[in-house]
Structure 1
């Protein structure tokens, strides 16, 4: 059986960088080899101008990477519906109210980026080291593009990725009680084997990351850490996280946002005595 993952270089000019990343992640380095020519690993993390997770073999699906500048995210940033989007309603965004959010299961950062485009300061946490370096690469390219684009510069300034490999539940448990305005959770849910909606490349990504079997353990520390609310993104027919009935649910065609409220959200609470950014504890507990 093929091993799961190795690091490769897009070309000879990227070999040194790829070797460094392989050492950092404790993964084998296989050289500047096209993913289509690899048969000993199911996926490669290809280092180049863009860091990409690629399935191997000649019939492999397309690559997965983090893109905060072009493609679908750019279209959604410009035409996605603004504050009328369900995610905006779920975290409590409205005119003059832009709560700070901790996205404790950031994944590829798409929801975090949407929230940042809408005006929220978002702190991302991602425990999977491969996904975390993909996020770091996406942020690097966003900040490079932001040098000549004031709109992107403002968005980039609102996005932070913590350098922590802690599981979300453990990190949240280390925060002072009610110190995070909004906790956002999108734990990986087991994919239906025959779901036509899951693109091949994302199916490969899910294979690498796996389902968050410990997702239910997120509820207690998340709700304890939040001041205003905890928001949980779920597939439409999925059970409630930890079996807890939410305060309200916002339903969509294929998913929903379950909202667990603690305190009402208003301008005084956002700008007054509560200063959650000062209370966040980015350090790993001893």
Structure 2
């Protein structure tokens, strides 16, 4: 099945590759535009003219910013200790911010993203990240992406990770890792049709040590299973499920 989106082609080589791998179909009436430029690929929300286009950046500037922030609760949730290398699967990668935070703290990260447009942005961000003069070699070695649904996690021929991280799309609201306009764009782009309880069960069976689930602070848990503990911030919480 082809995914329909308005395609603005400014780089024929990239366009042909994307069209072949992701099976896209041009739709001039789409609410979104995928802008394929020689230097990067961007997503435009055609209904929000004041919003800047969205693209993924895996670069040294962001790497330094995350690495210097010792108070990031997400790091406490996955319990990354100094000099300990952890393998993590971000099973709902989105735009890859959390995955890049994990990488910045020394983790080996596999991102899984089921939505074609988000996965295109991630692939493009990684490809540009490989060229970063300071950390490109580290990105190439320690971050990869799989375009698939995490519902198939036990069929993807990947090693079991220490930790699986879940940040599923919510019906009412999304976490604040992105700006509000970006949140609206992603919510409109990605349909809420994922059985999160089943996804959690599959991830819990597949991981070695634990699953970490990000939730709005006052929302119910993703599963009937009670988390072993949680870590809270002002607007959201991390539910931790130990094996």
What range describes the TM-score normalised by the shorter chain of this pair?
A: 0.7 to 0.9
Aligned to 1:119: 106
Counterpart residue number, 1:259: 240
Number of residue pairs the alignment of both structures matches:
238
Instruction: Tell me the distance in 1 between the aligned counterparts of 2:209 and 2:240.
Output: 10
In 2, Cα distance between equivalents of 1:89 and 1:238: 20
Unmatched 5+ residue regions in structure 1? 31-37, 263-286
Aligned to 2:197: 216
For 2:22, the equivalent position in structure 1 comes to: 25
Residues 241-273 of structure 1, C-alpha deviations (whole Å, 9 max, x = no match): 1232100100011111111012xxxxxxxxxxx
Distance 1:100 1:20, change over 3 A: closer
Contact 1:46 1:52 in 2 (8 A): yes
User: Quick one: distance in 1 between partners of 2:76 and 2:24?
Assistant: 41
Residues 197-206 or 45-54, more deviating: 197-206
CA RMSD of aligned residues (A): 2.8
Question: Structure 2 CA distance, aligned partners of 1:186 and 1:58?
Answer: 25
- Look up the match of 2:65: 76
Q: How does 1:240-279 map to 2 (within 5 A)?
A: 240-262=221-243
User: Pick from 61, 67, 71: which aligns with 2:57?
Assistant: 67
In 2, Cα distance between equivalents of 1:60 and 1:43: 14
1:1-286 matches, within 5 Å, as 5-9=5-9, 11=10, 14-29=11-26, 40-48=29-37, 49-56=39-46, 59-69=49-59, 73-74=62-63, 76-81=65-70, 84-145=71-132, 148-149=133-134, 151-162=135-146, 164-165=147-148, 167-172=149-154, 179-192=160-173, 199-262=180-243
- Structure 2 CA distance for partners of 1:253 and 1:172, relative to 1, 3 Å: farther
Unaligned runs of 5+ in 2: none
- Is the 1:44–1:53 Cα contact (8 Å) retained in structure 2? yes
Assess, with a 3 A threshold, how the Cα gap between structure 1 residues 206 and 4 changes in structure 2: closer, same or farther: farther
Give CA deviations for 1:132-159 in whole Å, capped at 9, x if unaligned.
11100000010011xx21x453244211
Aligned partners of 2:93 and 2:112 also within 8 Å: yes
C-alpha distance in 2 between matches for 1:70 and 1:189 = 31
Distance 1:75 1:99, change over 3 A: closer
1:70 and 1:63 map into 2 onto residues whose CA distance is 21
Deviations 1:204-235 (A, max 9, x none): 12211123541111121111111111111111
State the 1:68 CA deviation: 1.2
- C-alpha contact 1:86 1:250 (8 A) present in aligned 2: yes
Higher alpha-carbon deviation: 184-193 or 238-247: 184-193
